[in-house]
Structure 1
């Protein structure tokens, strides 16, 4: 009984899997980043500028830059100390809407104006494009011929010092309310000269609120202090902003939260899982793009003389649902209510009492049989001894 009560107040749970099928499903957000987004033709051609971008480049080449002489008037004249805006940053980077995006389709409908469907967001490796911020895509179709099909041009000739030594595109599929940079997933890195097929599967995770634990050590959280729905990535971003503020008394200009030195989150930067969250699993495969035949055809169509133009610069990405369904991973309580524990306790007590009466009865019956067996054994033994003694006496008399 004590063990049962202890188990009840540990609030045990079990996990179930449910599959919900849809006739129409909302398409997730897709974030696309050029791994080398700085444009050599747009950056000032000066060794001091090169040295600056080299100093903030990949860690693999960290230390190859020269020391800065920040007293040089050149830095102030060229805006190195000026408060910069998103527009200032974009002036130095390769085009996004009319550069990286060559064309895209959704469910076999061509959309030429990516600005209507993709918004610019600054990430640590540069400006990126994210869908589903202004207009929501929904689909009733499955398969690689439908949903997202994007032609991307990385413009390798204009590549410059960046955050990566490689060339290509990083893309992440995520819930529209989540920030992929703080989601713990780096997404997928793809290179030019290939056509990629990304099959999606949607998973929704539902945890029980406190006092039930979402993990062995944490409770899930349902909302922020202001009542808005809680997302763990927003919490981590708030922590990141706090760290930057404490380090340099400044805030990332792209941050649109309400942090002004008075964070709503706990000071220990504790970001538990959300009670409800959505993740997308991607299965990625690829093929060479384009084939030799289509390569020649496309080069003639655009009057391009570099035979490797498409294979050096272009990436085609298909992002699509395999099935219109959601797999729901749901946490449920072992005890639905306090009534169940009394039912369990009553059942155990009844079983215990019933077992005790049966045990006493069976033990008494067993002892009775043992005593009866011993009595019969002794009685038969006396008769045998008397019979043997009589036979011996008779033999002696005959002699």
Structure 2
């Protein structure tokens, strides 16, 4: 009985199978897909004409076009790499103290320059803007024409041991010349505290950090471009040269100057994100990064631009200034004031030349902001005590030469400015999924169904070209 039944339902091998076409493939897809409204669109062979099917076709085409438009917008936004900035104040138990570089407003010591009779008149001419070469044709001493050595400049400058009178850090008195290192800057010979980044603070307040008393020794001043008396203070990272875009404040004699600082950490996204408008930053923390600079061990935008300017000035003048940290031919005093320094000033404010340098900012760096206030120094009550301590002749002399500087964190807080991607891969997929769901009720699985349909169409056409029966082939998948 079972054999007869099986024989009955066994298909006739000679009976031809129904021809399978693209319309059949579409019918199968429309009945199984999760894509909305597709099942309402009938092939032409099923019904000669259907207003309902036509309207649904228009609706489907319209929503598909709207979806494609939105997807293009979304993908365009994603590949424009937009960013947002997040500012986060962070309370710290300890904060690294910045390097503090201090320069006397007149770095040359007139009493030491007296060995050169023409020197004072030379500096007077320089300060009055007389920098033409013919202005120095009468100079007879070789010191004006010889390359200036750093040792000579150091001997002719104000002594740090006399300028730095009393130093206190964290409430403890220390020997000033032990923790202050001499360094040449555009201002001349200066002295840097915390040059080795070894100092941290654990308390905020004007009496808890760095306090220095100075004797600027105005009696030893000579003529310079700057006519002021006092000190110039640079706040910067210990690895950054003071001339490299530091935070700068000044302090006058006869005053106690308070410099309340705040530390700001900047963190920018690397390429392909734009850190500064249309400019990318340089990831100096990458393991593949190699410092391209010749003069400076730490890469920064300001170091890069300074080196670019100094190399150009070297090509023009054949020498470098004393503040350039490289063992190259030093300029003479005349070359310094007639060629090198004017070239540096001109190039530094040349916007076209700045673009030619092609310097990029680093992606991670620190900056310091400062709020400055001052009060009279010393108070009348302390006059007699400080006169004995400082050895000043009288109050007038003390007011003309002595000043107090307090550099401190106003609070134990670091502000972090972080650039974050506004559009990530996850947000892109979420947005695309929302657009697909809104327009077509589709999902990623629906995309897989459409991809499967396209594969079946290709298989169908391939089989047709080879004369094979596409239905059997597709049905077996």
Q: Which runs of 5+ in 2 are unaligned?
A: 1-70, 330-353, 442-477
Q: Deviations over 1:339-381 (max 9, x none)?
A: 4313211202222346xxxxxxxxxxxxxxxxxxxxxxxxxxx
| SS, match of residue 182 in structure 1 | coil
> Please, which of 71, 89, 110 is the counterpart of residue 40 of structure 1?
110
Residue of structure 1 equivalent to 2:455: none
Residue of structure 1 equivalent to 2:430: 343
| SS, match of residue 274 in structure 1 | coil
Q: What TM-score, normalized to structure 1?
A: 0.78
Does 2:419 correspond to 1:331?
Answer: yes
Does 2:139 correspond to 1:68?
Answer: no
Deviation at 1:256, TM superposition (A): 3.2
> Please, which of 155, 178, 184 is the counterpart of residue 122 of structure 1?
184
Deviation at 1:121, TM superposition (A): 1.2
| Kept in 1: contact 2:247–2:369 (CA 8 A) | no
| Kept in 2: contact 1:39–1:93 (CA 8 A) | yes
> Please, which of 89, 99, 103 is the counterpart of residue 166 of structure 2?
103
Deviation at 1:305, TM superposition (A): 3.4
| Kept in 2: contact 1:133–1:176 (CA 8 A) | yes
Distance change (3 Å), C-alpha of 1:13 and 1:21: same
Q: Deviations over 1:207-230 (max 9, x none)?
A: 001100011121011236348763
Using the TM superposition, name which of 38-47 and 202-211 deviates more: 38-47
Deviation at 1:115, TM superposition (A): 2.7
Q: Deviations over 1:315-334 (max 9, x none)?
A: 10111112222111000001
Q: What TM-score, normalized to structure 2?
A: 0.66
Does 2:82 correspond to 1:12?
Answer: yes
Distance change (3 Å), C-alpha of 1:135 and 1:180: closer
| Cα distance between partner residues in 1 of 2:311 and 2:146 | 22
| Cα distance between partner residues in 2 of 1:70 and 1:109 | 53
Q: Please, what is the CA RMSD of the aligned residues?
A: 2.7
Distance change (3 Å), C-alpha of 1:65 and 1:292: farther
| SS, match of residue 395 in structure 2 | coil
Does 2:227 correspond to 1:165?
Answer: yes
Q: Which has the higher helix share?
A: 2
Residue of structure 2 equivalent to 1:215: 276
| Cα distance between partner residues in 2 of 1:304 and 1:104 | 18
Deviation at 1:65, TM superposition (A): 9.3
| SS, match of residue 32 in structure 1 | strand
Does 2:347 correspond to 1:284?
Answer: no
Residue of structure 2 equivalent to 1:191: 252
| SS, match of residue 41 in structure 1 | helix
Residue of structure 2 equivalent to 1:237: 306
Residue of structure 2 equivalent to 1:180: 242
Distance change (3 Å), C-alpha of 1:63 and 1:248: closer
| Cα distance between partner residues in 2 of 1:199 and 1:226 | 33
Deviation at 1:176, TM superposition (A): 1.3
| Cα distance between partner residues in 1 of 2:100 and 2:369 | 13
> Please, which of 192, 209, 225 is the counterpart of residue 290 of structure 2?
225
Residue of structure 2 equivalent to 1:140: 202
| Cα distance between partner residues in 2 of 1:297 and 1:226 | 53
Residue of structure 1 equivalent to 2:439: 352
Deviation at 1:303, TM superposition (A): 5.5
